[in-house]
Structure 1
Amino acid sequence: MKDVYLFSGFLGSGKTSMLTDVLRQLKEKGLKPAVIMNELGKLPFDSRAVDEDVPLKEMLEGCICCSGAEKTEAQIQSLLMDSEFDVLIIETTGAAHPVEALDAVYSPLFAEQLNIKGIVTVADSKLWLERETLTPQVRSLYLEQIRHAHLLLANKMDLLTEVEQAKVVFEMQNVNPNAFILQTTNGKVPLSLLEKLKATAHKSKEDIEIARIGTQLYLSSRLVELKTSYTQEQFEEWVRSLPSTVYRIKGYVPIEGIKNPMLFQYAYGLVQWLPEYIHMPSKIVMIGENIQEIEVLNEK
């Protein structure tokens, strides 16, 4: 299993500084990192922070979260086939929504090979105090990146007074009461804190641990093996019964009377079925909050 971290945060928040320092710590520990960088521009400026001996995939002029999801899947498959590494770090663009970024990297094709450790969001503390100056859309994304973080770095604390520092931490904790908040300067985060994260849900109910801040958090992903066939109506009825905290489902569902499991995707209340011309494993990935508590169709 390869550990995977998603680094989230706005442009200028300190993500690249964090990435550079984490790569250094991984190497000092004798671990081999690989990196996927997501950039909206044509020139890969940030990739200069990654040493030549680190396997690197870049996605220019694309976003990890929508049209770029399939490209991300292909990049990860390519890394798994061609490169030797222990830890994969995916640096998302500042425009990526955390849920969609998690969805893009967790494919049923290779879910069993990846251990999604969590989303680490770097938040510019000075920007937090000035967030009312942002446009509503940008401010909403900024809050969502903070709300869905498993580990939250309140960065650039050196630019604030003690009173402002306390205000930032208190207010961010109100937005995301489940994340551990680390006050940082220059995006410095101890590797030991990252290693404690655990965003991949356990595979069986017997293995579920008591939730702890910084280890098992609300936004998580779960791989489910489907052991029986269904009609499309049965499966969709189950999907409709799920709580709104299930954000994404994708994978291959065995349908009665059809030779190969069909590709199924669910997002924003909409479902999509596509025929598959080769036999894919009957597995789905679910992404949401408290996902390990959901009763799956074939478990009823």
Structure 2
Amino acid sequence: MIDVYLLSGFLGSGKTSLLLHTIEQLKQQGKKPAVLMNEFGALPFDSNAVEGEGDIPLKELLEGCICCTGSEKTEAQLQGLLEENEDIDVILIETTGAAHPVEALDAVYSPLFADRLNVKGIITIADAKRWLEREGLTPQIRALFMEQIRHAHLLVANKVDLLTEEEVATVTMGLSNFNETAPIIQTVGAKIDFSFIEKVLNTPKRRTDASIISGKGLPLSSKLLTFTESVDKEEFENWVQSLPSTVYRMKGYVPVKGASKPFLFQYAYGMVNWLAEYVKMEPRLVIIGEGIDDINFGSSEGGHPNRQPLFG
């Protein structure tokens, strides 16, 4: 499997700087990184910096956000990286400043290749000065800024050289209180030892209530479920609606009784959508959320405690 790291954070926070530092370190380790960059405009300003690093496989997603209308393009670009570069060890994905972490993760997880990718986590780069001045942001921008921080698996408080020691302490304490599970590292120029990132995202963490989340200890994670038999459509929808609110997204191909080919199934914000497929796809489903390890159709979560799970 190929390790995947998502770099999140607002425009100007230091994502591209962290990306370039990470690429250099991976190359020094003898690894082959590839990059997917999502730029909101039509010109690949940040991508040009990556191209200067040499023969790094690079795909770009321009004029759209990875997390909404660009999700299908994201899938196509990732598929291209996988097909064109068989020796990739690591994929680094830099999202736009407008990307919501949950939706960015959703765009990355396609049932077509989810079994080939090992998403290690979301690294959110937070501009330390912007955190102190967050009340001056518009409500919508501030909400997105806070969501990027809340869902991080590792928080980078960048540009601390612009603050006093007291302000740095205030930022660190504030970030820690808002996201109790993510380790925080203070940086200048977003310089981090990649071995530290690996160690943090490979080490199980516990919430303050001592409950382990998602097996890997990540607050936001995914689960790939595969079908062993067809399901009743209405019964499946009832199971979906019974899931906890911490299930944010589902997408994949669901084999339905009476249909010759699996349906494309998508779920978001409590809404379900079915779309007939004309090609027989691998029957599997990706679930994205918090605390989702024990979710299986046919288990007690779905209201059928006496059944064997249809997923494995």
Query: How do residues 1-300 of structure 1 correspond to structure 2 at under 5 angstroms?
Result: 1-50=1-50, 51-83=53-85, 84-196=87-199, 197=201, 211=212, 216-297=217-298, 299=309
Q: Deviations over 1:178-237 (max 9, x none)?
A: 1111111111121112223159xxxxxxxxxx8499x62110011011112111101100
> 1:62-111, CA deviations, whole angstroms, 9 ceiling, x for partnerless residues?
11001100000000111111113110001000000000000000111101
**Is contact 2:213–2:219 with CA below 8 Å preserved after alignment?**
no
Deviates more, 1:117-126 or 1:81-90: 81-90
Give the AA of the match of 2:90: V
Distance 1:293 1:191, change over 3 A: same
Regions of 4+ moved over 4 Å? none
Letter in 2 for 1:129: L
List per-residue Cα deviations over 1:229-249 (Å, max 9, x = no partner): 111101100000000000000
C-alpha distance in 2 between matches for 1:89 and 1:39: 14
Q: Deviations over 1:112-162 (max 9, x none)?
A: 100001100000000000000100000000000000001110111111111
Report if the CA contact (8 A) 1:248-1:265 is conserved. yes
Amino acid aligned to 1:16: T
Give the distance between the partners of 2:235 and 2:15, measured in 1 at CA.
44
Give the AA of the match of 2:46: D
Q: Give the residue type in structure 2 aligned to 1:141.
A: L
User: SS of the counterpart of 2:261?
Assistant: coil
Distance (Å, rounded) in 1 between the aligned partners of 2:130 and 2:72: 32
TM-score, normalised by the number of residues in structure 2: 0.90
3-state SS in 2 of match to 1:222: strand
Deviations 1:236-270 (CA, angstroms, capped at 9, x unpaired): 00000000000000001110000011100000111
2-side partners of 1:157 and 1:296: how far apart?
47
Normalised TM-score (structure 1): 0.93
Structure-2 residue corresponding to 1:206: none
RMSD, aligned CA: 1.6
Structure 1 gaps of 5+ residues are: 200-209
